[in-house]
Amino acid sequence: MTFSNPWFIAALVGVLGVFHVELVATFLNLAQFRHALPERLKAIFSGETVQKAAEYAAASSRVDLLRSAVSLAALIAFWWGGGFDWLQRWSTAWGWGGIQTGVAVIGLLILAQNVLSLPFDVWDTFKVEAEFGFNRMTAGTFISDRVKGLVLSALLGGPLLALVLWFFQTQKLAALYAWLTVAGFSIVMAWVAPRLLMPLFLKFKPLENGTLREALLALAARLKFPVVDVSVVDGSRRSSKANAFLSGFGKNKRIALYDTLVEKHSQAELEAILAHEIGHHKCRHVPKQLALGLLETGLLFFLLHAALQSPAFFTAFGVAGMPLGLGLVLFSILYSPASLLLGLVSSASSRKHELEADAFAKTACGGQPLIEGLKKLSVDHLSHPNPHPLTVWLHYSHPPVGQRLAALEN
């Protein structure tokens, strides 16, 4: 540990900086509840709902802050206690090749991170979400979701990681090849995930014949959107919160509505929500977000390449030698402030897309049904009625409900 190493200073300032920005944002966001609501929102959120939303925000924030504090403390203790050096010497003693060792070391650290965060996830699901009436998950579903998630990450992420490490071990243009590989992988996954992966977690059933199905298909036809199937998924097995999604490329679009959404919303509202989802596709938001993500990945690999060339980068973390797999992990620590900053760009772009999709839905179905649907969703989900701008910039993929309503009412 040396304070004269610039990599060390950058990593330390980075992790402490990210933690404190989140801390300040959380407190500002909770303090917002003390201010009176703008007129538009007073009509939607009753005093009782605001009170409950404040309690829910406080309880969730408590879990999140404690989770971050514990993981920050664990990281610094491991780092300053010589943990990375110990891990490097231990894994070298296995006598494996660089790539196998790299994949195993990264896998171990991801697993450790999962174990560390597990108690907080349990607390969040079975205490906070349950107390506010959202959780519908049994312990069995919770455990099987976890196990399936880890197995899938190992099966899909393992080989991808091995390939990326191989590029960095053998190729001069490693950053470029790794970037192209990840780009290809992301595009394939966008196609595969709704077809093969989501059914491992959710049950899809065709929406039964009736006026709702006919109305949704008629709307899709009117908007010249080739829908082949409308299904209902059993989101209610996990949470009472509702959601809708659309998937598919080319001429095979599938609409999936959470059963919780169908239960709570009128036909007109569901049509407006579908029109919003179709708006995302018509405005080509999926490829735009994907392109933005890939730009970020390109930058990441470029910087990673630079870091891996520098012995001082490894000594900043107390590691002798330049092990590749561990280098990737150390780089992810160093990269955390950059990823926070780049997250601002992608969530701002996502919020802009939401307003565009709302505008599309308004043209298709009129503003009123979507307004009603959004009001109902915000109250049901105990959303923060008036979040602080810093929290919105950092975390909101959707604009706060007040902003969406204002745009729709204009």
> Rounded to the nearest whole angstrom, what is the least distance from the CB of residue 271 to Zn ion in the complex?
15
Complex with Zn ion: residue 59 or 283, whichever CB lies closer? 283
Catalytic site residue 234?
A: no
> Rounded to the nearest whole angstrom, what is the least distance from the CB of residue 276 to Zn ion in the complex?
6
Contact (Cβ atoms closer than 8 angstroms) between residue 269 and residue 333? no
Complex with Zn ion: residue 232 or 357, whichever CB lies closer? 357
CA distances (Å), 250 to each of 4, 204, 225, 227, 254, in order? 55, 21, 10, 10, 11
- Max distance between CA atoms of the chain, in angstroms, equals 71
> Residue for token digits 């790539």?
99
> Rounded to the nearest whole angstrom, what is the least distance from the CB of residue 397 to Zn ion in the complex?
9
Complex with Zn ion: residue 174 or 270, whichever CB lies closer? 270
| Structure token pair of residue 66 | 């404690």
Distance CA 251, CA 245 (A): 17
Complex with Zn ion: residue 332 or 403, whichever CB lies closer? 403
Beta-bridged to residue 230, according to DSSP, are 255
Strand residues in 49-88 grouped as ranges (E): none
Q: Given the DSSP bridges, would you call strands 244-247 and 204-206 parallel, antiparallel or unpaired?
A: unpaired
> Residue for token digits 């910087």?
303
Distance CA 376, CA 365 (A): 17
User: Which residue among 85, 124, 277, 354 is the active-site one?
Assistant: 277
> Rounded to the nearest whole angstrom, what is the least distance from the CB of residue 401 to Zn ion in the complex?
13
> Rounded to the nearest whole angstrom, what is the least distance from the CB of residue 387 to Zn ion in the complex?
17
φ/ψ region of 74 (left if φ > 0, alpha if ψ in -120 to 50, else beta) reads alpha
Complex with Zn ion: residue 153 or 346, whichever CB lies closer? 346
Contact (Cβ atoms closer than 8 angstroms) between residue 259 and residue 236? yes
| Cα-to-chain-centroid distance, residue 257 | 20
Distance CA 154, CA 296 (A): 23
Kindly provide the b/e burial profile for residues 311-350, where b requires at least 16 CB atoms within 10 angstroms of the residue's own CB. eebbbbbbbeeebbbbbbbbbebbbebeeeebeeeebeeb
Beta-carbon neighbour count of residue 112 at 10 Å? 12
User: Which residue among 85, 129, 354, 358 is the active-site one?
Assistant: 358
Contact (Cβ atoms closer than 8 angstroms) between residue 57 and residue 33? yes
> Rounded to the nearest whole angstrom, what is the least distance from the CB of residue 307 to Zn ion in the complex?
36
Catalytic site residue 277?
A: yes
Helix (H) or strand (E) holding 139: helix 139-170
Complex with Zn ion: residue 41 or 244, whichever CB lies closer? 244
User: In this structure, what are the phi and psi dihedrals at residue 399, rounded to the nearest 5 degrees?
Assistant: -65, 155
Complex with Zn ion: residue 357 or 364, whichever CB lies closer? 357
**Of 11, 4, 3, 121, the residue nearest 76 (C-alpha):** 11
* Binding site residues, Zn ion, CB under 5 A: 354, 357
Complex with Zn ion: residue 84 or 360, whichever CB lies closer? 360
> Rounded to the nearest whole angstrom, what is the least distance from the CB of residue 374 to Zn ion in the complex?
11
Exposed, middle or buried, 121 (CB in 10 Å: 0-12/13-18/19+)? middle
The catalytic residues are 277, 358
